[in-house]
Structure 1
């Protein structure tokens, strides 16, 4: 895999392919971060695919005066070629990512952003063509509500009642597309890629057989065992 937002350059595996591979490799959560959706450049549509190492940002409520503060603005600290991953405290009404941040992130060479919370300035995001994944939107800015605390620390994404919380470490790999967001532990990248290659070859054979008129039962028995 190579860091990309372009689906035209193989090998590039989908979030579904990666989740399946992680399950085969024994990860029961499949690295899946539920309830995060693509908002830009389009809403849950199009060919946007995001792959790259995570740059993590831990947000806290502004009322948390005990939490540390970064030496610089978290957007100014973005490493080139990274995927910005932001953990926002739950049940906050404000956005933690907006259009001005996207402009700076693009200049810094960010590949996209994953927000476990809210974003705003959708039209600006889409005009910029910047990949943005989030839970929801808001018209409220971050200032009165939240601030960045720690950078490049493990962040835990909000759990779904039916799915365990997923922790992202700096340097883990993010795969995100219209289907959702999945996290590959950095030490498993080669194994995941090998499993994806194997399983997608099987899926290609299944697809060809189904288009030729075979039944699901026959096709799966033949190629999936």
Structure 2
């Protein structure tokens, strides 16, 4: 699977105009990422596409560039099935009966270049599902980033991979992996995947719940929120400046692009009014 050039162009349009990381003006910096979620909220997408509590591991980039790309996915499962039938399920995503990862391949060989790979790990595990060696392999292959609904390790090395000037070691003639790269996770670890998890399927739909704690708890009294249904090929906006990532369903991409200019213009007018002393309610009445 390769990235569709038309989808790639739409990703560039969102990154250029609606993601908060350039220096053109303070208004642009405050508004751009917000409109993507506002558009998804208007379209009644669960969670407005937001992946809560999954944060970038890189804190050393003084001018982070947003990355917008189609998603590929990897589902991890427990290495050993639970011995207790009464244990609460640790996976938010239904698990296919058969793995689709060839025995002759490592999962890092499979996400298509040009995508950002979303990894989902069983809740309650303390191991990481990705570290510097695996991330380097992905970057060399042209994958644009990693978003882990779970843990990662080798944080210093991963942060170096995310630096604009940092390229992984690879064939001298290869130009893959030379562009931006980003790593996000819900948590960290010092322990490798082999302790408790194994990659099971690639490019399958994932369900990312609103509350997806690293430490699973069966005693939580919170009412479960709708899961965000993520399909391979959906578009993700990873904005290190705003420390937030948003998933745009591929089926809604054109609708989002149509809404964004109007939302941006309305918010710019609201901010200008509020800065000049207009009350918020009145600014909203005028422009929203």
Does residue 142 (structure 1) correspond to residue 193 (structure 2)? The answer is yes
What stretches of structure 1 of length at least 5 have no aligned partner? none
Moved more, 130-139 or 25-34: 25-34
Q: In 2, are the aligned partners of 1:37 and 1:44 still within 8 Å (CA)?
A: no
How far has the Cα of 1:184 moved from its partner? 1.2
Q: In 1, are the aligned partners of 2:47 and 2:210 still within 8 Å (CA)?
A: no
* 1:210 aligned partner: 274
Quick check: which one's strand share is greater? 1
Tell me the SS of whatever aligns to 2:99: coil
* 2:202 aligned partner: 151
Q: Superposed, which structure 2 residues align to 1:32-71 within 5 Å?
A: 32-40=50-58, 42=59, 47-64=64-81, 67-68=98-99, 70-71=101-102
Q: Superposed, which structure 2 residues align to 1:12-27 within 5 Å?
A: 12=19, 14-27=32-45
What stretches of structure 2 of length at least 5 have no aligned partner? 1-8, 21-31, 82-96, 163-180, 212-221
RMSD after superposition: 2.5
Distance 1:163 1:16 in 2: 21
Q: 1:135-194 CA deviation, whole Å, 9 max, x = no partner?
A: 111111101211110110111124415632212111011112234222111111010111
With over 3 angstroms needed to count, the CA separation of the structure-2 counterparts of 1:33 and 1:11, relative to structure 1, is closer
Distance 1:171 1:99 in 2: 25
Larger radius of gyration: 2
Quick check: which one's helix share is greater? 2
How far has the Cα of 1:67 moved from its partner? 5.0
Moved more, 204-213 or 97-106: 204-213
* 1:96 aligned partner: 129
| TM-score, L = length of structure 2 | 0.70
